Chains A and B, each alone.
Chain A
Amino acid sequence: MSGEPPILELAGVRKAYNVGTPVEVEVLHGIDLRLERGEFAALIGPSGSGKSTLLNSIGLLERPTSGRILIAGLDIAELDEAGLTALRGRTIGFVFQFHHLLPAFTALENVMMPLVIDKGRPAPGMAERAEQLLRAVGLGDALHKKPAELSGGMQQRVAIARALAMSPPLVLADEPTGNLDTHTADDVFALMRRFNAEEGVAFLIVTHDPRLAERCDRRIELVDGRIVAGATV
């Protein structure tokens, strides 16, 4: 392996629920996966194939039952809950299907929030960084609007700006355009491509939309908890 370790590496990752009970069910059956820095990949597969579970495991929101997950060369099995939380905050940005903004905060404050959480309190420069990101996603006029005052597409753009606030090397997007009309979906997709090209942020995008998946550099296909295509470049 030359230079930096891949941003993401999975080896034999299994995930089962209700372990040890009669209703135990294994969702992921040994996933091997590598994602290099700056990649732009789609994770596709039918409903119930385990896409969300895989994304949550990669996003450090849940631990695998067995197998290894390395984020930027760091084995997450060696981290405690606090370590996981810190790693998640600094290296991974999330974009969810239902944009999940904090309704009580303005667009600017939502984008600032990961920075505030990281440092514990607001600091000089954070608002500027957030404003710059919001301008980059075309929301320079909506800085002080609450999520409820924004359209679905605008909310998703705020979410993308927020995912990028900490300049993470990896952004995980769960159906980021699933809730948007075709035109808006294209906008949002273009935005992610731009950040990928300009800042070298790796994207892993879960999607149902074959049109969208077509336009990604790589397609990883998951069927019944196994990767059937695209495990390696």
Chain B
Amino acid sequence: MGAMPFEWIVAMRFLREGRMQSLLIVAGTTVGVAVIIFITALVNSLQASLAERTLSTQAHIVVRPPEDVPSRVVDPKTGVVIARVEPRAQRLRSIDQWERVFPELEKLDHVTAASPMVTGPAFALRGNANKSIALVGIDPDRFERIVKMEARIVAGRYRIGPGDAVIGVELASDLGASVGDRIRIQTADKADDIFLVTGIFDVGVKELNRRWVLVPLKTAQSLLNLPGGLTNIDLTVDDIFVAERVAQRIGASTGLLAESWMAINGQLLAAFNNQTMTTRLIRIFLVLIVALGIASVLVVSVVQKQKEIGILRAMGASPARIMGVFLIQGAVVGAIGAVAGSALATAMVRAASYVLKQEDGTALITGEIGAATYAFAAAVALATGLLAAIAPARRAAHLDPVQAIRA
């Protein structure tokens, strides 16, 4: 018998004796745990992939100068409003003292990249074609860390030196321009310049492919009449879901307007939240199903083992000991299910990473499962096993030994 305590000896023997039942509940728990882990990994992967696609063309946080607000001139004696000063429409404004703010933003927790930008409306002209565009002045290396342009260049190169411009495929076809051609950019103030098209990109969003014209920061500053100024600073953070918190901190500490993708892209955030909610529901139902499975098998086991329980009671085993026997059975089933389920989930995720591919051929689901996911599933399985065993265990403990023996 070894040297295990009485409860363990009997629990393990009961589990081994009812082999088929034990195998079934262990299998049920295993599958439950595996599905919990697998679904979690799948949803995390899908979210990451959706975020990757959607947020790949936009900054996680955009920092802008504060909105102009109407100001009022008040007569100090009477308190009567003498005049209201409305903000000027469509005026491009620069971030005050951005040279001081920029290094601070770069150093913030979670911020992994910062890109100074000047953007403003302009027209692109070539021959008879005249298209409304967004002139985007950037530092190409810094911008690359916000939006991966290099990988999205379909013709030419991602090279933006003085006098160079990189444009989208839609605009290129609208203008009939290709790499090596020249285009003219003109602003509303009639400032204009000629640019050499060095690269053509396709970021996967028609609107951006039609509107973005990437030029050097300095050129954009002078064309848009904002010498030395910045219209916005784009930031990338390491965890997309902290963006809003970081943005609020920036807003509070600098007085600038900081908007996270979550604030700008409410629908996307809602989609993410819905997915998370769905996963949570699936988890809850799985836990319930596993718990019911364990509980029902243990209840049947208590009924089947009535006679043995009566004998053990007659031999001096206390109700608490009998209860322990059944609690241990639940916990052991949960523990085995947790280990086997984790192994199964790992295999399933591995297999899925080969089978489930996105259109671009990359795996839909990454092979990584966080330690936290394993820990969660294991804790759930163990707790479920124990909780599910409580009712049958109490029933066993309170069995009348006389009835039990006669049964």
**Inter-chain contacts of A121 with B (CB < 8 A):** 3-6, 9
Q: Bits for A134-162, please: 1 = Cβ < 8 Å to B, else 0.
A: 00000000000000000000000000001
Q: Is the CB of A116 within 8 A of B311?
A: no
Cα distance, A117 to B16, chains bound together (Å): 20
Given contacts A104-B13, A105-B13, A122-B3, contact A117 B402 (CB under 8 A): no
Is A46's CB within 8 Å of the partner chain B? Answer: no
Q: Which of A59, A89, A90, A162 has the most CB of B within 10 A?
A: A89
Within 8 A of A (CB), among B1-44: 1-6, 9, 13-14, 16-17
Contact of B314 among A94, A103, A118, A120 (CB under 8 A): A94
Given contacts A112-B1, A120-B5, contact A85 B13 (CB under 8 A): no
Minimum CB–CB distance for B179 against chain A, Å? 81
- In the complex, the number of residue pairs spanning A and B with C-beta atoms less than 8 Å apart equals 75
**Inter-chain contacts of B372 with A (CB < 8 A):** none
Contact of B311 among A86, A90, A102, A109 (CB under 8 A): A102
Q: Is the CB of A88 within 8 A of B314?
A: yes
**Inter-chain contacts of A166 with B (CB < 8 A):** 316
Is B339's CB within 8 Å of the partner chain A? Answer: no
Is A82's CB within 8 Å of the partner chain B? Answer: yes
Q: Is the CB of A104 within 8 A of B14?
A: yes
Is A61's CB within 8 Å of the partner chain B? Answer: yes
Q: Bits for A52-82, please: 1 = Cβ < 8 Å to B, else 0.
A: 0000100101100000000000000000011
Q: Is the CB of A104 within 8 A of B1?
A: no
Q: Is the CB of B1 within 8 A of A117?
A: no
Is B319's CB within 8 Å of the partner chain A? Answer: yes
Cα distance, A122 to B400, chains bound together (Å): 26
Contact of B316 among A56, A85, A105 (CB under 8 A): A85
Q: Is the CB of B321 within 8 A of A117?
A: yes
Given contacts A102-B308, A104-B14, A104-B17, contact A81 B5 (CB under 8 A): no
Is B348's CB within 8 Å of the partner chain A? Answer: no
Is B317's CB within 8 Å of the partner chain A? Answer: yes
**Inter-chain contacts of B311 with A (CB < 8 A):** 100-102
Q: Is the CB of A122 within 8 A of B319?
A: no
Is A96's CB within 8 Å of the partner chain B? Answer: yes
Is B283's CB within 8 Å of the partner chain A? Answer: no
**Inter-chain contacts of A82 with B (CB < 8 A):** 318
Nearest B residue to A102, CB-CB: B308
**Inter-chain contacts of A162 with B (CB < 8 A):** 315
Cα distance, A176 to B4, chains bound together (Å): 32
**Inter-chain contacts of B402 with A (CB < 8 A):** 56, 61-62
Is A50's CB within 8 Å of the partner chain B? Answer: no
Nearest A residue to B308, CB-CB: A102
Is A13's CB within 8 Å of the partner chain B? Answer: no
Given contacts A96-B405, A122-B1, contact A116 B319 (CB under 8 A): no
Is B312's CB within 8 Å of the partner chain A? Answer: yes
Cα distance, A120 to B5, chains bound together (Å): 6
Cα distance, A103 to B4, chains bound together (Å): 19
Q: Is the CB of A117 within 8 A of B316?
A: yes
Cα distance, A34 to B9, chains bound together (Å): 39
Q: Is the CB of B13 within 8 A of A61?
A: no
Is B313's CB within 8 Å of the partner chain A? Answer: yes
**Inter-chain contacts of B394 with A (CB < 8 A):** none
Cα distance, A43 to B132, chains bound together (Å): 111
Nearest B residue to A127, CB-CB: B1
**Inter-chain contacts of A81 with B (CB < 8 A):** 318-319
Q: Bits for A83-95, please: 1 = Cβ < 8 Å to B, else 0.
A: 0011011100010
Q: Is the CB of A117 within 8 A of B317?
A: yes
Is B137's CB within 8 Å of the partner chain A? Answer: no
**Inter-chain contacts of A104 with B (CB < 8 A):** 13-14, 16-17, 308
Is A45's CB within 8 Å of the partner chain B? Answer: no
Minimum CB–CB distance for B329 against chain A, Å? 13
Contact of A94 among B5, B13, B315, B400 (CB under 8 A): B315
Q: Is the CB of B6 within 8 A of A116?
A: yes
Q: Is the CB of B2 within 8 A of A122?
A: yes
Within 8 A of A (CB), among B281-334: 307-308, 310-319, 321
Cα distance, A120 to B402, chains bound together (Å): 23
Given contacts A61-B401, A82-B318, A122-B1, contact A117 B17 (CB under 8 A): no
Given contacts A61-B402, A85-B317, A105-B13, contact A117 B307 (CB under 8 A): no
**Inter-chain contacts of B313 with A (CB < 8 A):** 61, 85
Within 8 A of A (CB), among B367-407: 400-402, 405
Is A225's CB within 8 Å of the partner chain B? Answer: no
Q: Bits for B351-379, please: 1 = Cβ < 8 Å to A, else 0.
A: 00000000000000000000000000000
Cα distance, A43 to B346, chains bound together (Å): 66
Minimum CB–CB distance for A28 against chain B, Å? 14
Nearest A residue to B8, CB-CB: A121
Binding site for B on A (CB under 8 A): 56, 59, 61-62, 81-82, 85-86, 88-90, 94, 96, 100-105, 109, 112-114, 116-118, 120-123, 162, 166
5 nearest interchain CB pairs?
A: A89-B316, A104-B17, A104-B13, A121-B5, A114-B315
Binding site for A on B (CB under 8 A): 1-6, 9, 13-14, 16-17, 307-308, 310-319, 321, 400-402, 405
- Can you list 12 residue pairs at the A/B interface with Cβ under 8 Å? A61-B401, A85-B313, A86-B316, A100-B311, A101-B311, A103-B17, A104-B16, A113-B312, A121-B5, A121-B6, A122-B2, A122-B4
